[in-house]
Structure 1
Amino acid sequence: MSLVELIGFLALTGAAAYIQTLTGFAFGLITMGGVGLTGVLSLPDAAMIVSVLTFVNASQMLLKGWREVAWRQFRLVMLTSLPMIFVGYGMLEWLYGTRADLLRLILGLVIIASSLQLALKPEPLARRSSDGSFLFFGTIGGFMGGLFSTAGPPLVYHFYRQPMPQVMVRETLVSIFALNAVFRTSLVTFSGNLPSLSTLTGLLAIPVVIGATHAARRWPPPISPATMRRVVFVLLFLSGVSLGAPAVIHMLKAL
């Protein structure tokens, strides 16, 4: 990355970490959407760096919040999530090598669907869902985590419907994202697909993510959670459309 690209990437990850700390998810979506639009990194390299930065953000949040984790639901999700990371990562490698436009379209659709989910806050359930439902959503989250380091949307939808305190939901989700990030990073490392040294300069975002996470906890914005959700919805929706539309046009021209 050039100096200008690096500065832009640092600003993007800082904003994503700030929003993630406030909402419980969106770090991967915002970062991957920004990378897809600007092209400063390849999607596989960006997903690798997002995994590392997700772990940094999650670790910082869990220093005080780990006691609130719903460990039973955490274990159920991880039981199916970890194996599916292999599947998602394998699809990323295959699509990036043969169908890059399709990969960008999929990422755009994921971001659009996630933004709509954020806008339409799910109604809470009267009773906690069955163990099987956590296994099911863990499967989807693991696949998306392996594909784009964006395991959040299906898991956020399911967890925020549960009759559980919000702090427990948030810390459980962060714990899941942290372990997924460790597992995915290890998978990339052992497969020998580490980014180049120039790309790894993106890891300079680590102190930026730490600072943004602290700032979000110390100085949250003077707006309501509902307003924050609307702002994030608009940003994600526009980035998803901007990412997916050119891919569709390019694919149609190739027919």
Structure 2
Amino acid sequence: MSPAELLGFLLLAGVAAYAQTLTGFAFGLITMGGIALTGLLSLPDAAVLVSALTFVNAIQMLLKGWRDVSWRDFRLVMATSVPMLFAGYAMLEWLADTRADILRLILGIIIVVSSLQLALRPEPLRQKSGPASFLFFGSIAGLMGGMFSTAGPPLVYHFYRQPMSLVMIRETLVTIFALNAVFRISLVGFSGNLPTGSAWTGLLAIPVVMAATHTARRWPPPVSPATMRRIVFVLLFLSGVSLGAPSIVNLLK
């Protein structure tokens, strides 16, 4: 990356980390959507960097919060998430070189659907869902994580409907994201497709992400959580449409 591109990536990662701290998710969606729109990096390289930044952020949070993890739900999700992560990564490799428009369209659809999920809060359940539901949502998250390192939306939707404490939900999700990031980075490494050259300068975003997370916690903006969710919804929705619409036009041609 050139100095200008690196600065753009650092700003994008900082905004994404700030939004995720306030809303519960959106780091991967904002980062991947911004990169796809601006062309700062290839989507496969960007997904590796997002996985690395996700892992760093998760470890920072779990140093104190690991005791609140719901290990039963964690095991259920990981049982299907890991195999589908491999499937998602294989799909990314298949589409990355010769079907770039399809890849951008899929990412655009994911971002739009996730933005709608953010705008419409799910109704809480009276009783906890059965094991099959955790396996199902884990499989969807694994597929999305393998393709774009954006496993959050389906799991956030499912977990926040459960009659569980917010602390337990947050720490369980963070643990899932951390382990998924490890598997994804390992998979990319074993396949010999790690980023090369200047793409690794994107890791300079680590202190930016940590600083943005701390800032959002210490000095949240003077707006209500509902207003912040609407702002993020608009940003995600517009980026998803901007990403998917040109791909549809190119595919129709």
Using the size of structure 2 for normalisation, the TM-score is: 0.98
Any conservation in 2 of the 1:56–1:209 contact (CA below 8 Å)? no
> Which residue in 2 is equivalent to 1:150?
150
Aligned equivalents of 1:172 and 1:231: distance in 2? 26
> Which residue in 2 is equivalent to 1:189?
189
Aligned equivalents of 1:210 and 1:63: distance in 2? 14
Deviations 1:85-119 (Å, cap 9, x if unpaired)?
Answer: 10000000000122100000000000000000110
Aligned equivalents of 2:119 and 2:38: distance in 1? 25
Q: Does 1:236 align with 2:249?
A: no
Aligned equivalents of 2:185 and 2:18: distance in 1? 22
Q: Does 1:108 align with 2:76?
A: no
> Which residue in 2 is equivalent to 1:74?
74
- Paired residues in the alignment total 253
Write the mapping of 1:1-255 to structure 2, written as runs, cut at 5 A.
1-253=1-253
Any conservation in 2 of the 1:37–1:243 contact (CA below 8 Å)? yes
The offset of 1:62, in angstroms, is 1.7
Q: Matched residues, percent identical?
A: 76
Aligned equivalents of 1:225 and 1:42: distance in 2? 33
Aligned equivalents of 1:160 and 1:52: distance in 2? 25
Aligned equivalents of 1:189 and 1:170: distance in 2? 29
The offset of 1:186, in angstroms, is 0.7
Aligned equivalents of 1:60 and 1:19: distance in 2? 17
Instruction: Calculate the aligned-residue CA RMSD, in Å.
Output: 0.9
Aligned equivalents of 1:71 and 1:225: distance in 2? 29
Any conservation in 2 of the 1:60–1:213 contact (CA below 8 Å)? no
Aligned equivalents of 2:142 and 2:218: distance in 1? 31
The offset of 1:222, in angstroms, is 2.2
SS at match of 1:80: helix
The offset of 1:64, in angstroms, is 2.1
Q: What 5-or-longer segments of structure 1 have no aligned partner?
A: none
Runs of 4+ more than 2 Å apart: none
Aligned equivalents of 1:102 and 1:164: distance in 2? 38
Any conservation in 2 of the 1:152–1:177 contact (CA below 8 Å)? yes
The offset of 1:245, in angstroms, is 0.6
Counterpart amino acid of residue 12 in structure 2: L
Counterpart amino acid of residue 13 in structure 1: A
Using the size of structure 1 for normalisation, the TM-score is: 0.97
Aligned equivalents of 1:231 and 1:110: distance in 2? 18
191-200 or 32-41, which moves further after superposition?
191-200
